[in-house]
Amino acid sequence: MITEDAKIGVVGAGTMGAGIAQVASTQGHQVYLYDAYSEQLEKAEQGLVKILNRQVEKERMSQEEVDGILSRIEFADNITMFGECSFVIEAVIEDPDVKKDVFSRLEGIVSKDCILASNTSSLSIASISSALKKPERFLGVHFFNPAPLMKLVEVVPGIATDPEIADTTRDFIQSWDKITVSGKDTPGFIVNRVARPFYGEALRIYEEGIADAPTIDWAMKEIGDFRMGPFELMDLIGHDVNYEVTSTVFKAFYYDPRFKPSFAQKRMVEAGWLGRKSGRGFYDYRNGSSNPEPTKDPELGQKIFNRILTMLINEACDAVFMGIASIEDVDLAMQNGVNYPKGLLKWADEIGLHEVLDRMTALQVQYREDRYRPNPLLKKMVSEGKNFYENEE
State whether the Cα torsion 213-216-220-221 is positive or negative: positive
Listed residue (280, 283, 301, 304) closest to 292, CA to CA: 283
Listed residue (360, 336, 365, 337) closest to 348, CA to CA: 360
Is residue 100 in a domain?
Answer: yes
Burial status of residue 244 (CB atoms within 10 A of its CB: 0-12, 13-18, 19 or more)? middle
β-pair partners for 275: 280
φ/ψ of 238, rounded to 5, equals 105, 125
Is residue 202 in a domain?
Answer: yes
Report whether pLDDT(280) > 80.
Answer: yes
Is residue 393 in a domain?
Answer: no
Report whether pLDDT(317) > 90.
Answer: yes
Burial status of residue 55 (CB atoms within 10 A of its CB: 0-12, 13-18, 19 or more)? middle
Q: With bands split at pLDDT 50, 70 and 90, how would you rate the model's confidence at 3?
A: confident
Q: With bands split at pLDDT 50, 70 and 90, how would you rate the model's confidence at 393?
A: very low
Say if residue 132 is in the same domain as residue 238.
no
Q: How far apart are CA 1 and CA 168, in angstroms?
A: 6
β-pair partners for 157: 139
Say if residue 102 is in the same domain as residue 214.
no
121 is catalytic: yes
From 90, 154, 201, 315, the catalytic residue:
154
Is residue 3 in a domain?
Answer: no
Q: With bands split at pLDDT 50, 70 and 90, how would you rate the model's confidence at 391?
A: low
Q: Is 154 helix (H, G, I), strand (E, B) or coil?
A: strand
Is residue 1 in a domain?
Answer: no
Give the residue numbers spanning the domain of 270: 190-386
Say if residue 195 is in the same domain as residue 143.
no
Query: How many domains would you assign to the chain?
Result: 2
Q: For residue 190, what is the DSSP state?
A: T
Contact between 213 and 360 under an 8 Å Cβ cutoff? The reply is: no
Of 159, 185, 211, the residue that ends a domain is: 185
Report whether pLDDT(240) > 60.
Answer: yes
111 is catalytic: no
State whether the Cα torsion 129-130-134-135 is positive or negative: positive
From 124, 192, 306, 336, the catalytic residue:
192
The mean pLDDT value for 173-198 works out to 96
Say if residue 196 is in the same domain as residue 217.
yes
Say if residue 138 is in the same domain as residue 280.
no
Could you tell me the CATH number of the domain that includes residue 134?
3.40.50.720
Listed residue (95, 102, 147) closest to 124, CA to CA: 95
Q: pTM of the entire structure?
A: 0.94
Say if residue 257 is in the same domain as residue 342.
yes
Q: With bands split at pLDDT 50, 70 and 90, how would you rate the model's confidence at 373?
A: very high
Report whether pLDDT(1) > 70.
Answer: no
From 86, 129, 142, 315, the catalytic residue:
142
Is residue 2 in a domain?
Answer: no
154 is catalytic: yes
Say if residue 59 is in the same domain as residue 155.
yes
Is residue 146 in a domain?
Answer: yes
Say if residue 227 is in the same domain as residue 323.
yes
The mean pLDDT value for 250-276 works out to 96
Q: How far apart are CA 122 and CA 187, in angstroms?
A: 5
For residue 292, whether the previous peptide bond is cis, meaning omega lies within 30 degrees of 0, is no
Is residue 391 in a domain?
Answer: no
Say if residue 199 is in the same domain as residue 170.
no
Could you tell me the CATH number of the domain that includes residue 255?
1.10.1040.50
Say if residue 216 is in the same domain as residue 299.
yes
Say if residue 217 is in the same domain as residue 167.
no
What is the residue-averaged pLDDT of the chain? 96
pLDDT score of 2: 85
Of 169, 185, 201, the residue that ends a domain is: 185
From 121, 122, 242, 375, the catalytic residue:
121
Report whether pLDDT(158) > 70.
Answer: yes
pLDDT score of 243: 95
Say if residue 98 is in the same domain as residue 140.
yes
Report whether pLDDT(144) > 50.
Answer: yes
The mean pLDDT value for 310-334 works out to 98
Q: What is the Cα gyration radius of the chain? A: 22
Of 185, 206, 232, the residue that ends a domain is: 185
Report whether pLDDT(167) > 90.
Answer: yes
